[in-house]
Structure 1
Amino acid sequence: MLQAHLRAGRDHVLAAVEGLGEADLTRTVAPSGWSVARLLNHLTHDVEIFWGCAVVGGDEEARGLLQDGWAVPVTSGAETVERYRAWSGRTDRVLATTDLDAPPRWWPPADLFPFPPFGTARQGVFRLLVETATHAGHLDMAREGIDGRQHLVVG
């Protein structure tokens, strides 16, 4: 059930960016300076790579790629979308083989991430869900500002 909700959230993210051209993916859409592509970098690096693959999955390659997703340079909007798809799929493969009642397979050192470790991998999945749903809403607002498209708006 958790994976189904996560998949729905990711589908929402991808629907919010579907059909946008390079200029709309990479232009600033928020007063804080982020673009749709920068938000996708955040979801890729700080959510899928960090929470899904590194923390829940203990994936060494993912741990080696850890960085502030907001600061990752945008090479192209289309590439950013594809990277998000790829890492979401990788997280799904991790979750398919994870005992959610077991502890996460990795936790960052306290000097880098000064928060207490989660007791179960399930808490990491909840973090994936919250981040994905929150930012899907942000992308809805950005999309409405770009071209007026609205997602699930009740009249």
Structure 2
Amino acid sequence: MIDEFAKHHLHGRLRRDREALLWKLDGLSEYDARRPLTATGTNLLGLVKHVATVEARYLGEVFDRPSPEPLPRWQDSDGSDLWAAEDETREQITAFYRRTWDRSDATITQLPLDTPGHVPWWPEPRPNTNLFAVMAHVLAETVRHTGHADILREGIDGRTGLRAAHEREIDEAARAAHFAKVERAARAAAPIKA
């Protein structure tokens, strides 16, 4: 009973956060979806590509259920799984992510939580694991990168939140007042030396 509850709960959270990550692209220009927004080049479309690749590998390869399509390289020195090349469209990347969901959902649905898996890129003694641990890992990765996407999107146009249903009109005056209050508290706690 607890296994089914745990699987259902983790799977539901994963589904929610997948949608939230894609929602961060809604309404953006092609440039804003792709442009580097941090010193390390982090960008919204690249986060989607990375999370799709992570999910495809963990909920596919780890359980001997590899993706039927070639996966982008990942964790290379050039970070090629973290940005979209000129010839990769937003539609291709988001469609790849949605196809990955379908394959991952089948893995989650068809396998018990204690199904053994092998993660060859994890160091000893951890490469042998199970579906429960992998689901928790994929959920953590998805949540982490969706949080990154939330901050990046806020920097572009102020939009925050999990989904459109939670979105409210942005009160610029209230945001500015809150920002000023936090800034005053920071300065009071650590005065700037002249």
The bucket for the TM-score relative to the shorter chain is 0.7 to 0.9
TM-score, normalised with respect to structure 2? 0.67
Query: What is residue 51 of structure 1 aligned with on the other side?
Result: 58
In structure 1, stretches of 5+ residues that fail to align are: none
Aligned match of 1:7:
15
CA–CA separation in structure 2 for the residues paired with 1:87 and 1:103: 20
| Structure 2 runs not aligned, ≥5 long | 1-8, 168-173, 175-194
Provide the rounded CA distance (Å) in 2 between the counterparts of 1:66 and 1:99: 28
Q: Which amino acid aligns with 1:36?
A: L
1:78 aligned partner: 91
Query: Relative contact order, CA 8 A, sep 6+: which one is greater?
Result: 1
What corresponds to 1:135 in structure 2? 145
Which residue of the partner structure matches residue 22 of structure 1? Answer: 30
- Distance in 1, matches of 2:10 and 2:68, equals 22
Please report the TM-score for the alignment, with normalisation by the length of structure 1.
0.83
Match of 1:97 in 2: 110
Q: Give the distance between the partners of 2:101 and 2:141, measured in 1 at CA.
A: 13
Q: Structure 1 residue aligned with 2:73, among 67, 71, 75?
A: 67
For 1:125, which of 128, 135, 160 is the aligned residue? 135
CA contact (8 A) 2:56 2:67 kept: no
1:68-114 deviation line (CA, Å, top 9, x unaligned): 1641462122322221122122211111101111211x432xxx543
Give the fraction of aligned pairs with identical amino acids, expressed as a percent.
28
Runs of 4+ in 1 over 4 A off after TM superposition: none
Calculate the aligned-residue CA RMSD, in Å. 2.5
